[in-house]
Amino acid sequence: MAFAPVLHSEWIKIRSLRSMIWALLAIVFTTAAFSALAGLDSDGDDFDPLYSALFGINFGQAAAVAFGATAVSSELQGGALRLSLAAVPHRSLWFAAKMVAVGVPALAVGLVTGFVSLAVGTAVLGDKTSGLAAAEGLRGAVGCGIYLAMMALLAAGLTALLRSGVATLSILIPFLLIASFVIGGVSGGIADFLPDKAGQVILHETSEGALGPWTGLAVTACWTAAALLAGAWSVRRRDA
């Protein structure tokens, strides 16, 4: 069976679910809104204009996680996965198509989110971003899109492994929204290599930890790849 028709069918599933569309829209609006709010309270000695302009990603990533988790968990309800695998007996092919159908729109929306949030954030910050170079802003916006796509895929892979969207959200959302802030001021050691903290290095104007902007994204990519491999194993080895 060819990959293209399988991918087309998976894309139809995603675009036909209203919750998927709302989750993608929530990524943009939540990130931009919180970036604007962060710009209103940007005083301090450790002020970072790029991170302040893109601060909303800390909340927008929750919508990306919800998108990835829901895209897979919808297959686990009412025997939908059995029907999908009956139509596409090659389980690895089906899983690959599902992940592409999740990753591509998440990346596209993530890039839009990055540039919209950067524009909103810098507009609110005003003269405080005068020292921010265009190349740094571009790096941050593109990095924002890549990071959000990887968070969606991380959630998708974990959902395939756990066989539960609720379990995935119960793990990732508290971690991203609570644990991330708790360890946010910690630099050095294992904290720098957590998936969210490593990936968000690219959103900072300068890096003070063990990782640089792109090496940080590479660490997050490793976490995402591990989740996808585990999810693929689960789909191949476990009953539908």
Show me where the domains of the chain are located.
3-237
> Which residue has 């294992």 as its token pair?
190
Quick one: pLDDT at residue 44? 60
Residue 32: partners with Cβ closer than 8 Å, 6 or more residues away? 56, 113, 116, 117, 120
Q: How confident is the model at residue 17 (pLDDT cuts 50, 70, 90)?
A: confident
pLDDT tens digit sequence for 95-110: 999 999 999 999 999 9
Q: How confident is the model at residue 86 (pLDDT cuts 50, 70, 90)?
A: confident
Phi-psi region of 164 (alpha: psi -120 to 50; beta: other; left: phi over 0): beta
Q: Token pair of 90, please?
A: 């090659």
Q: Token pair of 199, please?
A: 């990936």
Residue 207: partners with Cβ closer than 8 Å, 6 or more residues away? 201, 213, 216
- Compute the 3-state secondary structure of the chain and give helix, strand, coil in percent, each to the nearest 5: 80, 0, 20
* H/E element, 144: helix 134-162
Q: In the chain, what percentage of residues exceed pLDDT 90? A: 54
145 DSSP assignment: H
Quick one: pLDDT at residue 177? 78
Quick one: pLDDT at residue 240? 55
Q: How confident is the model at residue 205 (pLDDT cuts 50, 70, 90)?
A: confident
- What distance in Å separates the CA atoms of residue 212 and residue 240, rounded to the nearest whole number? 41
Q: Which of 158, 232, 159, 184 is nearest to 57 (CA)?
A: 184
Residue 144: partners with Cβ closer than 8 Å, 6 or more residues away? 31, 54, 57, 110, 111, 113, 114, 117, 118, 202, 203
pLDDT tens digit sequence for 164-179: 999 999 999 988 877 6
Q: Token pair of 173, please?
A: 């959302």
pLDDT at residue 186 greater than cutoff 70: no
Q: How confident is the model at residue 183 (pLDDT cuts 50, 70, 90)?
A: low
Do residues 175 and 64 touch, judged by C-beta distance below 8 A? no
Quick one: pLDDT at residue 184? 56
Q: Residue range 193-217: average pLDDT? A: 88
Alpha-carbon distances of 132 from 48, 50, 194, 202, 215, rounded to whole Å: 9, 7, 27, 14, 21
Q: Token pair of 147, please?
A: 């990071």
